[in-house]
Amino acid sequence: MPDRFEKSILLWRDVTQIFKSGVRSRAKKQIKSKKPNSESYWAFIMFNLTLTRFIHDLKIFLKIIK
């Protein structure tokens, strides 16, 4: 189980690096202009999905520690 948690952390770190480079603001503009084919739109979707997965994995990990 910790292996899955470590993978989640690594994925989360990669995704946050993408967004630190300014993709997030471009993704929001793309969502507003309704052009879902752009890479930034899908990056934004992946960011949200990864965040949800990370929080879920974190909850499981904390239950294991207790």
For residue range 28-42, list pLDDT tens digits in order: 666 566 555 566 667
Q: Give this prediction's pTM.
A: 0.38
What pLDDT is attached to residue 28?
63
DSSP string for residues in 5-41 = HHHHHHHHHHHHHHIIIIIHHHHHHHHHHT-TTSHHH
In degrees, rounded to 5, the angle at the alpha carbon of residue 20 between the alpha carbons of residues 40 and 32 is: 35
